[in-house]
Amino acid sequence: DCAADYIVSSYIPSITIQRKAQEQLQLSVHEHHKALLVAESNALGFGALPHASAEVELIHNVLPKSVRVIDAVNEAVDMEGTIKQFFDASIVHMACHGRQDKDDPLSSGFILRNGILKISDLMGLKIPNASFAYLSACQSATGDDMLPDEGLHLAAAMMFVGFPSVIGTMWPMNDEDGPVVAETVYKAMFKDGSGTIDYDAIPRALHTAARRLREEGAHPSRWATYIHLGV
């Protein structure tokens, strides 16, 4: 037995960020979402992620018709375009490599076609419609070993800029698991098909997806890496 047999876990980087998330939640209960789905399968100097583009396509097909979807896949992924689309996105999904810089946490980021989208880049963004961010990237919720009480990672940064609910990973994830886990989450959060996000369903769906991997015999490093932060 383990804790996952009895509880659904969700975490917060700090009380201050959690309060901000609760305030933002009141503003993000609507049916007119814009989803930015980013997939970078072949970043220069990094291993291929053959399932990243399939993950984004699957999510696109699962989302309600009322959600306006912007796909940015491989050649279409670049720093400037991604940052521009962030401004009015309410849902952001990043399927790419993540980079954790323990010497300079603010330089941690997402590996895109022409550079790294860093925490320092994200911290300056104002995203009024921010609702949900899914960071399907390695180490997107990995903190600094020397500063265990500080949430200096990509998932916390997404909460800081306004996303009240975030999914990340605490260590390298299995590329094959990405589409499976993501499908479970997005189906659950839009279960009634109305286009309104069911925030309570997000951590529960992540828990369900992780449990399925566990029941299938997956190594704990595959299913335990996923983490939900926020509300």
From CA 201, how far away is CA 191, in angstroms rounded?
A: 9
The pair phi, psi for residue 99, each rounded to 5°, is -130, 120
Q: 144-156: per-residue pLDDT in tens?
A: 666 555 567 899 9
107 closest CA partner among 99, 46, 166: 99
Structural contact between residues 93 and 60, judged by C-beta atoms closer than 8 angstroms: no
From CA 165, how far away is CA 65, in angstroms rounded?
A: 22
Average of per-residue pLDDT across 14-31: 81
Residue 28 is predicted with a pLDDT of 73
Q: Which domain holds residue 190?
A: 3-230
From CA 215, how far away is CA 115, in angstroms rounded?
A: 38
Tally of domains within the chain: 1
Residue 193 is predicted with a pLDDT of 82
Cβ density class 94-112: b for 16+ within 10 Å, e for less: bbbbbbbeeeebeebbbbb
CATH number reported for the structural domain that contains residue 47 in this entry: 3.40.50.1460
The pair phi, psi for residue 200, each rounded to 5°, is -65, -25
Residue 150 is predicted with a pLDDT of 59
Average of per-residue pLDDT across 182-194: 93
What band does 25 get if pLDDT is binned at 50, 70 and 90?
confident
Residue 2 is predicted with a pLDDT of 82
Q: 213-229: per-residue pLDDT in tens?
A: 999 999 999 999 999 99
Percentage of the residues of the chain whose pLDDT score is greater than 70:
96
The structure tokens listed for 123 are 């911290």
Residue 57, pLDDT above cutoff 90? yes
What band does 17 get if pLDDT is binned at 50, 70 and 90?
confident
From CA 132, how far away is CA 197, in angstroms rounded?
A: 9
